[in-house]
């Protein structure tokens, strides 16, 4: 059985591409598996930037673009690799771990660039260096390691249109 939900964000969302208004041009269904293994269907809005006409999809806080499991599932597996209750098979779990290793440098780079653009806080030194700790430690120094750290990476990067799904997408740029 699938459960369906309507996702409707409140207020104005600036377009990730241009920071302009977006028009709602339709909806689409987005599936995601939750902590109990239940598949849910979320009806999210398709939005179009009034400036460049790029299409975006509303992203609820509990989802990661392109991921089939809810953000909280992925975060708990990455935080507690040997002590979680997420009902995913081993190959899915190991894909999430490789995903973190593969993207951590890119995410750290994006977050630092956002901090520089918005003049926020002090950027911890040496974060881009491999010697400065594990992926989670490096992320923790930028986004904190309290619950919700994955959302604190995903949201700001999605909001400025820098979220990428495949490694090649940012290597060739």
> Given the rule CB under 5 A, which residues bind Zn ion?
15, 17-18, 49, 51-52, 54
Residue closer to Zn ion, measured from CB, 51 or 80? 51
Closest CB 13 distance from Zn ion, rounded Å: 12
Residue closer to Zn ion, measured from CB, 49 or 63? 49
Chain-centre distance for alpha carbon 131: 25
- Interatomic CA distance for residues 6 and 26, integer angstroms: 13
Dihedrals phi, psi of 109, to nearest 5 degrees: -60, -45
Residue closer to Zn ion, measured from CB, 52 or 123? 52
Assign 42 to helix, strand or coil.
strand
Closest CB 112 distance from Zn ion, rounded Å: 24
Closest CB 159 distance from Zn ion, rounded Å: 13
Closest CB 21 distance from Zn ion, rounded Å: 10
Residue closer to Zn ion, measured from CB, 54 or 135? 54
Closest CB 8 distance from Zn ion, rounded Å: 21
Q: Is the dihedral of CA 117, 112, 95, 102 positive or negative?
A: positive
Assign 70 to helix, strand or coil.
coil
Residue closer to Zn ion, measured from CB, 59 or 86? 59
Q: What angle do CA 71, 78, 43 make, to 5 degrees?
A: 10
Q: Which residues pair with 33 in a beta bridge?
A: 39, 69
């Amino acid at each position: 059985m699938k459960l369906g939900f309507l996702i409707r964000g409140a207020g104005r969302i600036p377009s990730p591409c241009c920071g302009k208004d977006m028009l709602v041009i339709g909806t689409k269904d987005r599936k995601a598996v939750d902590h109990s293994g239940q598949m849910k269907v979320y009806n999210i809005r398709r939005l179009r930037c009034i400036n460049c006409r790029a299409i975006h999809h509303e992203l609820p806080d509990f989802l990661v673009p392109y991921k089939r499991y809810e953000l909280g599932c992925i975060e708990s597996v990455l935080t507690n690799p040997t002590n979680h209750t997420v009902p995913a098979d081993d190959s899915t779990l190991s894909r999430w771990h490789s995903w973190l290793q593969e993207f951590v440098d890119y995410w750290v780079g994006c977050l630092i660039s956002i901090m520089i653009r918005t003049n926020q806080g002090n950027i911890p030194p040496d974060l881009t260096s491999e010697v400065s700790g594990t992926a989670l430690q490096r992320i923790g120094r930028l986004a904190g390691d309290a619950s919700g750290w994955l959302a604190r990476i995903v949201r700001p990067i999605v909001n400025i249109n820098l979220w990428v799904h495949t490694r090649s997408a940012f290597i060739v740029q």
